[in-house]
Amino acid sequence: MFPIPGHGRYMRQPLYNRDFCRAIEWCLRHQPKGAIYDLVGQDRIDYIDIIRAIRRVKGLRTPIVCIPKWLFATLLRIYGLFTKQPPFTAAQLKALTAGDDFTGVDIRKTFELEPTSVEAGLKETFTHPVYAKYVVERA
């Protein structure tokens, strides 16, 4: 089971890590003086749809269960009493549901690169023949 807080319709703007690296590489090559770039993903997608897409790409059948936000927050606080590294915190829940919408720069125009779509980024992350076998773990 994968729990979702509330209705799960919290807009996200995920930036694929390779696109972030390509933007850094562009900056290293072009050395813009004093420039500051606000980088955000070009796609707007709800949190629940990201979770559904991950499930689809990985070929999982994990049920997604929406839990009222107040109950979700309470369960997070209780779980936090028993572990020093919870997978999700009440502060992260607050950030998730804050309703932020960032403008960011036009990645195509500014960095001369085609941004990776959420779906393509997930496919590359979870199904790449070389890199999908690696799992990042917390120490």
Determine the pLDDT at residue 84.
Answer: 84
Q: Residue 65: give the domain boundaries.
A: 2-133
Determine the pLDDT at residue 139.
Answer: 67
Determine the pLDDT at residue 80.
Answer: 86
Residue 122 lies in a domain: yes
Domain count, the chain: 1
3-state secondary structure 85-137: CCCCCHHHHHHHCCCCCCCCCCHHHHHCCCCCCHHHHHHHHHHCCCHHHCCCC
Residue 138 lies in a domain: no
- Residue 72 sits in a domain of what CATH number? 3.40.50.720
State CA 131 to chain mean position distance.
18
Residue 18 lies in a domain: yes
pLDDT (tens digit, 9 = 90+) per residue, 39-97? Answer: 999 999 999 999 999 999 999 999 999 999 999 999 988 988 998 888 888 889 999 99
Residue 67 lies in a domain: yes
